[in-house]
Each structure stands twice: as structure tokens, then as C-alpha cells.
Amino acid sequence: MRIQIRQTWNHLFTVFSSMSVVLMVAALLLFLVPMLGKGMSAVFFRGTVEFRKMQHDLYGLGSESTLQKEIAATQAARDDIYAIFDRFSRGIDTDLLAGEAKRLYRDHGDELRYQNVPKDEYTALRKQAKGIRNHLMDAFESVDKAEIFEHLDAVEAFKSDASLKGTSVEKLIAMAADYRNIAETVDFSKRADYAEELDAVEEELFRLFGPRPGVERALAMESYGATRWDVVQKHLHQLVWQESWVLSEDGQQMVQKQVRRDDPKEGSFAGTQLAPMFALVEETVSETLRPRRTFYWRYFVQDSTPGHYFGGVGPEILGTLLLTVLAMCFAVPLGVISAAYLVEYAGENWVIKIIRVCINTLAGVPSIVYGLFGLAFFVEYVTAKQKCITSASMTLALLVLPVIIRASEEAIRAVPRTYREAAMGLGAGKFRTFATVTLPAAGPGILTGIILSLSRAAGETAPILFAGAVALGPIPDFAGKWWFQPTRALSYGCHDITVGDKLAMMVPHNQYGMVMTLILLVLCLNIVAIVIRSRMSKKLRGY
């Protein structure tokens, strides 16, 4: 009976242990798979012609002749879209039209003076042109369609006047014809609403296609349109659909409502000359942006533009490696020596007990405290108030030191006493026994602590936040004193993008891409350490 109970308990323990492992793996996958999946979108995506243009301009990649042909082909399709937009927006922006009318009137005067027209004829022609201009200006200022058409009729009455052929006045008459087409479809009482919506439409066209030819922007993020197909879909939706907040049917709360801007009933541009543009953009979006499947492996080596809007995470990877490796260089020797002293040389007096309590306490101190200490001590006194790689890596070293000491202590204690006795029986001293026998035997256990410390050092943000990390800055100059220069890091880059709410919404792929890169980097560092530990273990076992 007791044997059956014992077997039952053994089976239950096995089942619960297996379930725990399964749940742990499932939780890990539940966290990692979505994160890595979203992060991979920074490397695998459908890049547009704007992406290839950006890569060529900023990094000198791609064939210029091929790119120019592609740009010319896409620009031809975009011109049709902008022609509709410009034709309509000119009719809404009456100040612009009035300014152009005044300019044409002045040009007409210059033309007459250049032709040496007699004074009487000059006066008559200028009076005629002034009347045409005034009718046109009155049409622009009016919101009454009957009055508008009356003024336009007065202007177009001169359309057949042969004396106006080839003059600037003929262009004034052409403006009247264009404005008539707009006036027939536009409710001028909503001119302010049209102007506001036009600004939103123009902004989304800019986000899709970038600045128009001949227009230069100072910022890289404003010099190109949508570089990725997922970004294209987002801005295309915002272009075509208008979002507003309206009362619900029960009148109790506000709900969000989406209406196509060209919807015949509720659209803000219903029945206007601009309405066909939205369908045209949807139909030709592939032609205007030419998406192509892209494997952006340079994401891991390229530098980024300000704000991480374009480019990769090469400097961040380099900075993370520098900080992690230097932190290990500071922490591992000190940690192993401290552990060796506590195990091999120190006794069990009250001072040693206090030291062990302090080490255990330091292992649980929040990382932000280490960051503030690094700022107050390392930055102020060690590196002469210079936030740099050295101060940041020493702060990280303090952070992981307790873990290394505790792991090294347990590894050294786990070495069988017979090893020490055999070495000392052969005449080796205590230090030589530790250096040649105990330490190599404890190596795999010490490496386990180092592996845990690597992961934490690479992923921490708070300790380096105050001590030496920067969001943007030059790559460390290895020809100079690079250890006194600040550096970028993946963990700090993730933090920088996240705290900038607007930026995080604009480049979510870069945010997740940094997280993915950090996970992969930590995984690679751990694999290297595990391989070294495995080889060390095999060597100790005589394999």
C-alpha cells in the first residue's frame, strides 16, 4: 500500500514538473514570438521607391540610373493626382488666386510698355484689363453663386476679343473658366471647411509621396514619403477616410465615425472636382510607390537618422557590446577574487556574515539606484564629470557584481574537497591549488553566473541612463580616447523611442526592431558563453 502511494506521488510530481516546464516554455514563447515577429518587420518588409531613394541619398546604395528611371515613372503617375488637387485647391485659396490675378494685370502693363503702345490706346487697354481683373476679384471674394457666375460671364465676354490673344489678360480669362468649373461643384459657404480638410489631404499626400519635385526639406524624415508598404496603407486610409466624433444614437456618448471624403452623401468633398482624386490614389498607389519585397539586412549595420526614423541600429549594437564586454571585464575578475576570498580564506566571523548580507542585499537593489550612484560617483569623480563608456560600464559592473560573486561562491564550494587535498598532498600551496585546480573545476559554474550577468548588463537601461548612454551621437572613435566618449545602446534606444509618443507611433517597426535586435544579441552572447562552458566541462571530464 505504501509503495502504491509513493508511486502515485512520484507520478503526480512528474506530471506537475512536466506541466511547469510546458507552462514556462509556453509563457516564454507567448512573450518572445509576437515580439520577434513584430521586430522582424524592421528587416523583412515591402519597400517602396521612397525607401530606395532614401537608401541612395543617405547611404549611397543602389544604381542611380535605375533609380532615376523608377522615380520618373512614378512621378508621371503622381502628377495626375497633383493636377486634380492643385486645380481644386486653387479655387479654394482665393488669396492665392487674387495674388495671381494682380500679377497678371501688372504683367499686362509691362507688355504694353514694351510694345510702345500709343498713350490713348494704352489707357483704353489698361482700363479694359482693370475691369476684367476687378470682375475676377469680385468673383473670388463672393460666396453667392449667382453673383459669381455674373462676374465670370462679364470676364468671359472678352474671350473672343482678338486683341487679347497672347497677352496676360488672356490668362485672366482662362482663370475665369477654371474657376467656373470649380464654382459649379463647390458650396462656397463651406470654404473654411474645405480649406481645413485640404490641409489634412495635402499632409497625407506628403506623407505618401514626400515633398514635391523642387521642394527641399531640412530634416531627413521630411525628405521622403512612405518607405514601407504598411506605412503606405496607414496614410492611404487617413487620406481617403475622414474621422470625426459624433453623438451616438442614444445621445449619451461620443463615438468615432469614419466617412470617405468622396462619399456622395456625407463626404467632405462629395460632388466636387477633388472627389475623383481619392479613387485615383487608391487605384494607382502601386504605380506611384512601386512596392517590392525587401530584405533589409543592413538594418544591423547602418547608422540611423535623428529620431531613428530611417536607418539601422549598427551604432547601438556596437555600443551595447562595448558596455557589456567592459562591464564584464570590470566585474568578473573582482567577483571571482571576492568569491575566492570568501570561500577559501575568510572564516565565518561576524564581519564576513555582514559582508555576505550586504552582497545579497545589493543583488536586490533597483537598477535605477545603481544609475544614480554611477552619476554621483563615477561621473563626478572617476571620469571628471564626463558621461562616457567607462562610467557606464563601471556602473553596469557594480550592478552584476553581486550575481557573479554569489554564483562564483557556489561554484567554488561545489568543487570536491578531495581535489584540494590531492593537490596539497602533492606539495602545492593554497594559492596554487586554487589557481590550478579549484578555479578550473569551478569554471562552468562561474560561467553560469557570467551568462546571467551578461543578459542583465546588456538589457539594462536605468544604470546607463545617467552614466554614459545617449540617444543620438557619433560612433565611438577608436583612433582616439573612445573610452571617454558617450555611446548609444539598444536598451537606451528602445527607451528613447518609447518615451517619444508621437515618434513611437510613427516608427513602431524600429521600436520592435531594436527590441528584437537586443534579444538576438543577448541570445548570441549567451550561446557563446554556453559553448565555452560546455567545452570547459568536457575538458574537465577528460573528453
Domain extent, residue 138, equals: 68-188
Task: Indicate the range of 278-282, 334-338, 344-348 predicted with least confidence.
Answer: 344-348
Check: CB of residue 51 under 8 Å from CB of residue 247: no
Q: Which pLDDT score is estimated for 14?
A: 83
**Choice between 101 and 401, residue whose per-residue pLDDT is larger:** 401
Confidence check: pLDDT of 503 > 70:
no
Task: Indicate the range of 27-31, 77-81, 314-318 predicted with least confidence.
Answer: 27-31
Q: Per-residue pLDDT averaged across 497-512, rounded? A: 74
- Whether 4 is covered by a domain: the verdict is no
3-state secondary structure of 70: helix
Q: Which pLDDT score is estimated for 427?
A: 80
178 and 206 part of one domain: no
**Cβ contacts of 494 within 8 Å, gap of 6 or more:** 461, 511, 514, 515, 518
pLDDT digit string, tens, across residues 119-175: 888 888 888 888 888 888 888 888 788 888 888 888 888 888 877 788 888 888 888
Burial 161-185 (b: 16+ CB within 10 A, else e): eeebeebbbbbbbebbeebbebbee
Beta-bridge mates of residue 311:
304
What average pLDDT does the chain have? Answer: 85
**3-state DSSP percent of the chain in helix, strand and coil, to 5:** 75, 5, 20
- Whether 244 is covered by a domain: the verdict is yes
Q: How far apart are CA 386 and CA 409, in angstroms?
A: 35
Q: How far apart are CA 442 and CA 417, in angstroms?
A: 12
346 and 388 part of one domain: yes
Last residue within a domain, chosen from 293, 328, 363: 293
Check: CB of residue 515 under 8 Å from CB of residue 39: yes
Q: How many CB atoms lie within 10 A of CB 85?
A: 17
383 and 281 part of one domain: no
Check: CB of residue 269 under 8 Å from CB of residue 281: no
Confidence check: pLDDT of 249 > 70:
no
- Whether 335 is covered by a domain: the verdict is yes
Q: Which pLDDT score is estimated for 213?
A: 81
400 residue type, one letter: V
Q: Which pLDDT score is estimated for 186?
A: 73
pLDDT digit string, tens, across residues 263-296: 888 888 888 888 899 999 999 999 999 999 999 9
Q: Which pLDDT score is estimated for 153?
A: 85
272 and 332 part of one domain: no
Q: Which of 9, 3, 218, 182 is nearest to 97 (CA)?
A: 182
Q: Which DSSP letter does residue 241 get?
A: E
Element (H, E) at 112: helix 94-114
Check: CB of residue 405 under 8 Å from CB of residue 502: no
- Whether 503 is covered by a domain: the verdict is no
- Whether 445 is covered by a domain: the verdict is yes
355 and 274 part of one domain: no
377 and 471 part of one domain: yes
325 and 286 part of one domain: no
327 and 476 part of one domain: yes
Confidence check: pLDDT of 262 > 80:
yes
- Whether 475 is covered by a domain: the verdict is yes
Q: Which pLDDT score is estimated for 317?
A: 92
3-state secondary structure of 93: coil
Q: Which pLDDT score is estimated for 504?
A: 61
355 and 482 part of one domain: yes
**Choice between 444 and 248, residue whose per-residue pLDDT is larger:** 444
Check: CB of residue 220 under 8 Å from CB of residue 310: yes
Backbone angles phi and psi of 246, in degrees to 5: -130, 165
**How many domains does one find in the chain?**
3
Confidence check: pLDDT of 528 > 70:
yes
- Whether 506 is covered by a domain: the verdict is no
178 and 251 part of one domain: no
Q: How far apart are CA 56 and CA 50, in angstroms?
A: 10
Q: Per-residue pLDDT averaged across 93-106, rounded? A: 81
Last residue within a domain, chosen from 188, 221, 248: 188
349 and 480 part of one domain: yes
Check: CB of residue 81 under 8 Å from CB of residue 288: yes
CATH number at residue 439: 1.10.3720.10
Q: Which pLDDT score is estimated for 52?
A: 93
Confidence check: pLDDT of 501 > 60:
no
- Whether 245 is covered by a domain: the verdict is yes
Last residue within a domain, chosen from 129, 163, 188: 188
Q: Per-residue pLDDT averaged across 90-114, rounded? A: 81
121 and 183 part of one domain: yes
Residue written as cell 566585474? 331
